Amino acid sequence: MSFVELLSRLGGMGRFQVTYVAALAMPLLMLASHNLLQNFTAGIPEHHCRPAANATEVPLVVSIPWDGQHRPQSCRRYVEPQWHLLDGNGSANGTEAATEPCHDGWTYLGGIFSDTIVTEVREGTPRGSSGWGDAGVPVVS
């Protein structure tokens, strides 16, 4: 005897079954729309490392390395300011300066995205982690 036959013998879907299914479906529908919403609000704007705290008045060109498209690299900064880059030719004389990951956060450039969830994340959250918000996904699913 299948579940459908058993349910029809007992009188079909009653008020309890309908309420139970509706109560289970509501959080799942909200979770699906929340995950879809992230496609539109989680754009990553152009950004670069915030210069070191002791280098606030240093020009960007001496504190952040540039990529192949003449833009500041988004995830690296120089350990020490590279003052020789202010010279006319701006070459590093064949030596590669030491870089480090961003320790003081990022500076987001205004452009296509003015405000996204990426720019709203607190300073202390590790990169690639969205914090405690994802803890409920396995519970609800």
Identify the weakest region by mean pLDDT among 10-14, 22-26, 39-43, 136-140.
136-140
| Distance from C-alpha of 45 to C-alpha of 55, rounded to nearest angstrom | 24
Cα separations in angstroms, 11 against 23, 24, 30, 130: 21, 22, 31, 47
Name the least confident of 60-64, 81-85, 101-105, 107-111.
107-111
**Residues β-bridged to residue 107:** 48
In contact, 50 and 106? CB cutoff 8 Å? yes
Q: Is the pLDDT of residue 19 over 90?
A: yes
Question: 13 to each of 16, 28, 37, 49, 141, how far by Cα in Å?
Answer: 8, 21, 34, 59, 24
Give the pLDDT confidence score for residue 68 in this predicted structure. 85
Least confident residue range of 3-7, 32-36, 117-121: 117-121
* pLDDT for 123 beyond 50: no
Helices (H), the chain: 3-9, 15-41, 60-63, 117-120, 136-140
For residue 10, pLDDT over 50 is answered with yes
Per residue in 63-85, pLDDT tens? 888 888 888 888 888 888 888 88
**pLDDT of res. 94:** 46
Average pLDDT of the segment spanning 127-135: 51
Residue 92 has a pLDDT of 52
